[in-house]
């Protein structure tokens, strides 16, 4: 009931037609009433346990995305080789802020340690982290410095789920070029209400919008896979979309739409992804996609999706040569598409969301 009360408060200042409001309320009631989920809070906890064999290959990350009108916030919490078995450990918090007609702000903080709970979503990396609040909500906090201006960037947000969690990659799946490597991927909040605030220097920006949160972990070389994701949600139409593709030696793809409480899933060979436009970053000397076309067909539904990056933030995670570095691209994007059922029903959408691209790259000489 707390979820219902919160969402009704969110709707009060908005001018809505009666019919969309009733649809939205019915959607919220369906989530609370069914209790049907594909994952528990424990699944969103950290999963690292030393096995003494390939601990240097352990990778785990959590991402949180939020949008409120012209403000887009992207957060990353990363554990890479947590025990420093390779002497290349990366325990990192990263923040990217995009606002209309303003320069992109991005900063990161590296730490030598972390703390948490393996039984519930809780992680601490110095002044940053997240924890479970009110049974289902996550409180997400952090602090980094903008890499250009040096201003402190702080955030204190609450993510309240509006769609059921699901496993994009539910079992340990091999994909890379290392024998025995594996990855799992959890879309813990495909759609969320996000409230709180963000501070940039002495400016406070209230946040009252929507967002999403996902979580991945496994044992593999972080520079091995090419990872592409896209996500968007629109609670007032009971709609969320999550797409993940991880490719190395093998390719793993999952795309899920939730519409009016119905789950529509496409996987692997049912999905065709094409990167149709690219951009070049002078600082990192790298090329990356800025426009994607996705076609999917599972026999019951067909989807045509275009992902257009509005703004792109480039980051490189450096390692000592000859190890490759990792190129990270965070994007605020426009997701446009049409979903058609085999009975002829059509749903069209045009929403601002997020996309991500990462891959290994040789250091720029």
What's the pLDDT tens digit per position in 132-154? 998 899 999 999 999 999 999 99
pLDDT at 252 over 80: yes
The pTM (predicted TM-score) of the whole model is: 0.89
Q: Which residues contact 35 (CB under 8 A, 6 or more apart)?
A: none
pLDDT at 3 over 50: no
Residue ranges of domains in the chain: 1-36, 37-361
Question: What percentage of the chain carries pLDDT values higher than 70?
Answer: 89
DSSP 241-255: EEEEEEESSSEEEEE
Name the band, by pLDDT with cuts 50, 70 and 90, for residue 9: very low
Give tens-digit pLDDT for 85-135. Answer: 999 999 999 999 999 989 999 999 999 999 999 999 999 999 999 999 988
Fold observed for domain 37-361: AttH-like fold (2.40.370)
Distances (CA, A) of 276 to 219, 287, 291, 308, 311: 31, 13, 6, 10, 16
Query: Is the bond preceding 340 in cis, omega lying within 30 degrees of 0?
Result: no
pLDDT at site 23: 35
pLDDT at site 226: 97
Both tokens assigned to 88: 């290349």
Mean pLDDT estimate for the chain = 90
pLDDT at site 134: 87
pLDDT at site 24: 35
DSSP 152-207: EEEEEEEEEE-S--EEEEEEEE--SSSTT-EEEEEEEEEEEEEEEEEEETTEEEEE
Strand order across the 239-247 sheet: 262-267, 251-259, 239-247, 226-234, 346-361, 325-341, 301-317, 286-297, 271-281
Question: What percentage of the chain carries pLDDT values higher than 90?
Answer: 86
Give tens-digit pLDDT for 327-336. Answer: 999 999 999 9
pLDDT at 14 over 80: no
pLDDT at site 363: 60
Name the band, by pLDDT with cuts 50, 70 and 90, for residue 172: very high
2-11 helix and 18-34 helix, angle to the nearest 10 degrees:
160
Name the band, by pLDDT with cuts 50, 70 and 90, for residue 280: very high
Q: Tell me which of 73-77, 155-159, 320-324 is least confident.
A: 320-324
Give tens-digit pLDDT for 26-64. Answer: 333 333 333 334 789 999 999 999 999 999 999 999 999
Q: Which residue is listed with tokens 């340990």?
A: 172
pLDDT at 353 over 90: yes
For strands 286-297 and 271-281, give the pairing: antiparallel
pLDDT at 22 over 90: no
Give tens-digit pLDDT for 194-232. Answer: 999 999 999 999 999 999 999 999 999 999 999 999 999
């Amino acid at each position: 009931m707390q979820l219902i009360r919160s969402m009704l408060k969110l709707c009060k200042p908005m001018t809505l037609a009666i019919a969309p409001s009733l649809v939205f309320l019915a959607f919220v009631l369906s989530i609370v009433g069914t209790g049907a989920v594909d994952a528990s809070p424990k699944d969103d906890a950290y999963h690292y346990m030393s096995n003494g064999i390939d601990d240097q290959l352990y990778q785990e990350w959590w991402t949180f995305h939020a949008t409120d009108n012209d403000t887009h916030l992207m957060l990353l919490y990363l554990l890479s080789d947590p025990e420093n078995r390779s002497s290349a450990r990366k325990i990192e918090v990263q923040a990217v802020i995009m606002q209309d007609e303003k320069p992109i702000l991005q900063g990161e903080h590296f730490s030598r340690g972390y703390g948490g709970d393996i039984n519930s979503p809780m992680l601490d990396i110095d002044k940053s982290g997240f924890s479970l609040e009110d049974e289902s909500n996550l409180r997400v906090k952090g602090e980094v410095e903008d890499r250009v201006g040096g201003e402190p960037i702080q955030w204190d947000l609450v993510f309240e789920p509006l769609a059921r969690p699901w496993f994009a990659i539910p079992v340990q799946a091999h994909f890379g070029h290392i024998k025995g490597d594996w990855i799992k991927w959890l879309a813990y909040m495909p759609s969320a209400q996000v409230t709180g605030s963000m501070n940039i220097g002495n400016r406070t920006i209230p946040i009252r919008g929507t967002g999403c949160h996902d979580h991945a972990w496994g044992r593999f070389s972080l520079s091995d896979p090419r990872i592409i994701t896209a996500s968007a949600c629109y609670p007032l139409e009971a709609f969320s979309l999550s797409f993940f593709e991880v490719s190395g030696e093998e390719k793993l793809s999952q795309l899920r739409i939730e519409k009016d409480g119905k789950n529509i899933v496409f996987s692997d060979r049912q999905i065709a992804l094409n990167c149709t436009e690219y951009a070049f970053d002078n600082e990192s000397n790298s090329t990356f996609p800025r426009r994607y076309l996705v076609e999917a067909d599972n026999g019951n539904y067909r989807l045509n999706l275009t992902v257009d990056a509005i703004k792109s933030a480039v980051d490189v995670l450096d390692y000592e040569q000859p190890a490759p570095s990792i190129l990270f691209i965070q994007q605020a994007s426009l997701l446009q598409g049409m979903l058609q059922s085999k009975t002829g029903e059509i749903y069209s959408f045009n929403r601002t969301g997020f996309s991500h691209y990462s891959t290994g790259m040789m250091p720029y000489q």
